[in-house]
Amino acid sequence: MLRDVLTTNLDIVFCGTAKGKASALKGFYYAGSGNKFYSILHSAGFTPKKLEPRDCYDVGNYKIGLTDLVHNEYGNDNQISSENYDVAGFIAKMEKFQPKYIAFNGKTAASFFLGYQGVTSLVKYGIQDKTLGKSKLFVLPSTSGSSRRHWNENYWLELKKLIDEE
């Protein structure tokens, strides 16, 4: 599977559920042809140019980190076994690296972190009341091509504005 892209002094860590099939096969985060991740990073101002999936291990240059809650399985969210979510391991990593923000790329990952075990209707987009240490939490609409019906770039723009105001 893919290695985490984590270091200290990050503005944000984007956390997904698990690698999709294309990402697992190609070895890059958000590598599916319909995934909007790198486009929205650029259009929202997180990166000065549009990156490609092959650039995923260089996102730290923009104070961005990448990880997932599931590292031993890949596929769409509805194909991932709930016992493979490593919330405790994720918490340990975030406590070690302490990014300013942790942004969940989709409600499924957020639901497991928040203790709702996949019940996404209990998760709201945007800034959360909870924190993880000093890290603020934010839930974003998933960039996956299979989540187009929930797409709203305004949350991504709001998150970038919050980061810039710090």
Summarize pLDDT for 119-148 with one digit per residue, the tens: 999 999 999 999 999 999 999 999 987 767
The reply to whether 152 falls in a domain is: yes
* Cα–Cα distance list, 151 to 82, 142, 143, 165 (Å): 24, 7, 7, 24
If one compares 49 and 86, the residue with the highest pLDDT of the two is: 49
The reply to whether 113 falls in a domain is: yes
Sheet with 64-68, side-by-side order of all strands? 64-68, 12-16, 101-105, 135-140, 126-132
Total-model pTM? 0.94
**Could you give the number of structural domains in the chain?**
1
Query: How do residues 58-81 score in pLDDT, each as one tens digit?
Result: 999 999 999 999 888 877 777 777
What is the span of the domain harbouring residue 85? 12-165
Exposure string of 64-90, with b = 16+ CB inside 10 Å and e = fewer, is: bbbbbbbbebbeebeebeeeebbeeeb
The reply to whether 87 falls in a domain is: yes
The reply to whether 22 falls in a domain is: yes
Residue 19 near residue 45 (C-beta atoms within 8 A): no
DSSP secondary structure string for all residues of 115-154: T-TT-GGG--SEEEEEEETTEEEEEE---SGGGGGG--TH
Assign residue 88 the CATH number of its domain.
3.40.470.10
3-state SS class at 68: strand
| Residue 52 scores a pLDDT above 90 | yes
Query: How do residues 90-124 score in pLDDT, each as one tens digit?
Result: 999 999 999 999 999 999 999 999 999 989 999 99
The reply to whether 62 falls in a domain is: yes
The reply to whether 96 falls in a domain is: yes
Tokens of 98: 């302490």
The reply to whether 79 falls in a domain is: yes
The reply to whether 6 falls in a domain is: no
